[in-house]
Structure 1
Amino acid sequence: MHGPASPGWLLVALCAATGAYCLLRMRSSVEEQRRAAGGEALMGFGMAAMAVPAAVFTPPSWMWPVYAVVFGAAALRALWAARGHPHHLHHLMGTAAMVYMAVVMAGSPEAHHHAHGDTGVPMVTGLLLVYFTGYVLLSGIRLIPGTVAGSTGAVAGWGDRPELARACRLSMGIGMLAMLLTL
């Protein structure tokens, strides 16, 4: 992604840490949580890999189509899973955003949006920014104590704690916003 190196490394660290926690959540005894955690781990590590500052490492040209194929397959899986669980629609949006970013990066040289004198934000990028901004705001509100319906107060295992899963999703939403802004 384009942009300064320091914020890029912070984004890499945030996304990698989120991906690592999601891998640990895959040990949950709840099957649906394990499935969601697997998709979220893929997103976290994929976002971390895409966020490595271009000044440090410029991926080979074949890397972007690979990202598009991997996240395209993940999008198809999320679409299939969304039949019974609407939560997977967000996974579909996230994977579709990753495919979009990979396609844009594959078809553009460094700083292409400045080189051609383009002004404004492309419509797809703008729509994704609106979606993820809303998602981040809603996720942040859900982290406020007392706003979650059905909280029992029972102590769950550290991998099954819903507030940690929400915080994980919130951090990935913030990361997605940052990546879309630098696109």
Structure 2
Amino acid sequence: MKIYTKTGDKGTTSLVYGQRVAKNDIRVEAYGTCDEANSMIGLALSHIPEQDSKFQEVREVFHRVQTILFHVGAELATPSGKEVKWKLEHEHVSDLETVIDKWDTTLPPLKTFILPGGHPAGAALHAARTVIRRAERCAIAIENVNPTVLSYLNRLSDFLFVAARYVNAQLGAVENKLHDS
């Protein structure tokens, strides 16, 4: 099978079930933005030492997150009225909340805003967080979107914020606090 099909050369692409839409359709924008965030998460993980056992849980959690985010994209790519092949459930949102609560208890309490950055892994997770916020804004515009998708994207941005702080702390990176100008 060739990687290219030439079917998108005129600015259209297929949704799940084959419906053709413009590449700037809100569904394409939403699932494409999820894909972009997933790539940023992959970039973040590439900066985390693979042999360090203290990051085993981080890698396992992110493997689940990346897999679910892939499925979120597929759900967003499914036209209204069609059966979703893998449906996001509230337990996926709860799973994120559990990890947020666990990792957040290991971090110093926030008393001011922090600036995105730190270790390259943490900085990439902060970037992924902002991309997920964009995906959420796109998803809101989709008619009849699964409300759990919106909850998941909202919680995922919270998770990525805490994950960036957690990874930065584990790697010894200093958080830069916002200063009054």
Higher percent of residues as strand = 2
Instruction: Sort the TM-score into its range (normalised by shorter chain).
Output: 0.3 to 0.5
Give the TM-score taking structure 1 as reference length: 0.43
Higher percent of residues as helix = 1
Largest Rg, 1 or 2: 2
